[in-house]
Amino acid sequence: MTEVPEYLFERSRQRRIDLGLLEDDGSGGGGGAGASGGEALTSSGSGSAEVIAAAKADAKLEQFAEPEAEPGWVSAARSRTKIPMWALPVMFFLPLWAFVYVKLTEPPPEPVTAITEGAATYAARCASCHGGDGAGSDGGGVGRPLYNGEVLLTFPKLEVDMLHWLEVGSEGIGLGNAYGATDRPGGSRISGETGANMPGFGGTLSEYKIYSVARYIREVLSQEPITDEEIAARDVEWEDRGGGKDVSGGGHGGGH
Ligand code: HEC
């Protein structure tokens, strides 16, 4: 049997006293330590058995204090390459940057003019009856032809009668009543003459939109011969009626 040095027993005993497991009887462990020497282990009976058990418990305590070996996945997580801190704000602002980039690189929207707005209104509200090119009944449409100067023959001046006609339509004029130029080649137009009625747009299109679409059918579809001064004066008139202020193109026109 291997000898256990005396001082180890004493250390263990002291530890147990410290832990409150053993009362200090002042024996100094094993008694007469110096004299008995290595003999203590074999001769001390139940007392030394107790001390051995204590030494074992002590050894266990020390064993538990050992740090446990890390599982593989923990050390893998510790040592893997991590996303650097500076990447966080970069990733956060990336969508914002992409949005701004796209916004800055796309071409600015075309400025709205009376003519571009009139074209849009015509396509949405008039083309179904008068045709995209203004051929009207010449092209199988329900409405009168507005192209090739036709609309200029009915309404020689934009300011006279034309806007009123667009606002009130056939029924507003009164079926059977004449409208437009009385000296029109072929005689003046009569409301309801075609067998179909033109709706009035006063309730659905804003003032400036009626003005724009009137300009569009005159200046574009019927190629009205006008000077630059007249065009400038019409642009002022259009703005006075509210044109060009509403970027969204909505206005109080709207419709059905
Ligand atoms: C539902 C079909 C219809 C729609 C939509 C329509 N029109 Fe007409 N338009 C007519 C008819 C039909 C006439 C002839 C009226 C009549 O005989 O009483 C006419 C006549 C006209 C005339 C008179 C032409 C002439 O020489 O007698 C003008 C100008 C005109 N339309 C412009 C427009 C404009 C501008 C729009 C759109 C804002 C429009 N129309 C929408 C059916 C339509």
Which region, left, alpha or beta, applies to residue 161 given φ > 0 means left and ψ of -120 to 50 means alpha?
A: left
Residue range 227-248, pLDDT digits in tens: 999 999 999 999 999 998 765 4
Contact criterion met (CB below 8 Å) for 13 and 29: yes
Reported as half-sphere exposure (CB side, CA atoms, 13 A), residue 193 has a value of: 11
Between 3 and 213, the higher pLDDT residue: 213
Query: What pLDDT shows up at residue 63?
Result: 60
Six-digit token string for 116: 């571009």
User: Mean pLDDT: which of 4-8, 106-110, 230-234 is highest?
Assistant: 230-234
Beta carbons within 10 angstroms of residue 181's beta carbon:
17
Query: What pLDDT shows up at residue 249?
Result: 44
Residue range 140-164, pLDDT digits in tens: 999 999 999 999 999 999 988 999 9
Contacts for 3 with CB less than 8 Å, ≥ 6 apart = 38, 41
Query: What pLDDT shows up at residue 83?
Result: 81
Contact criterion met (CB below 8 Å) for 54 and 22: yes
Of 252, 219, 255, 251, residue with least CA distance to 235: 219
**Which of 117, 125, 129, 171 most suits a substitution to test ligand 1, by most atoms within 8 Å of the C-beta?**
129
Between 98 and 71, the higher pLDDT residue: 98
Question: Residue 143 C-alpha to ligand 1 middle, in angstroms?
Answer: 5
> Residue 54 and residue 18: Cα distance in Å, rounded?
12
The b/e string for 51-74 (b: 16+ C-beta within 10 A; e otherwise) is beebbeebeeeeeeeeeeeeeeee
> Residue 158 and residue 156: Cα distance in Å, rounded?
7
Query: What pLDDT shows up at residue 61?
Result: 65
Six-digit token string for 95: 């969508």
Which region, left, alpha or beta, applies to residue 24 given φ > 0 means left and ψ of -120 to 50 means alpha?
A: beta
Query: What pLDDT shows up at residue 224?
Result: 96
Mean pLDDT of the 174-194 span? 94
**242 CB near ligand 1 (under 6 Å):** no
**212 CB near ligand 1 (under 6 Å):** no
Between 30 and 121, the higher pLDDT residue: 121
Contact criterion met (CB below 8 Å) for 126 and 209: no
> Residue 192 and residue 173: Cα distance in Å, rounded?
10
**Mean pLDDT across the chain:** 84
**pLDDT tier, 32 (very low <50, low <70, confident <90, very high otherwise):** very low
**213 CB near ligand 1 (under 6 Å):** yes
Mean pLDDT of the 25-45 span? 46
**pLDDT tier, 10 (very low <50, low <70, confident <90, very high otherwise):** confident
Over 60: is that where the pLDDT of 68 sits?
yes
The atom of ligand 1 lying closest to the CA of 162 is 29
**217 CB near ligand 1 (under 6 Å):** yes
Question: Residue 144 C-alpha to ligand 1 middle, in angstroms?
Answer: 6
**pLDDT tier, 43 (very low <50, low <70, confident <90, very high otherwise):** very low
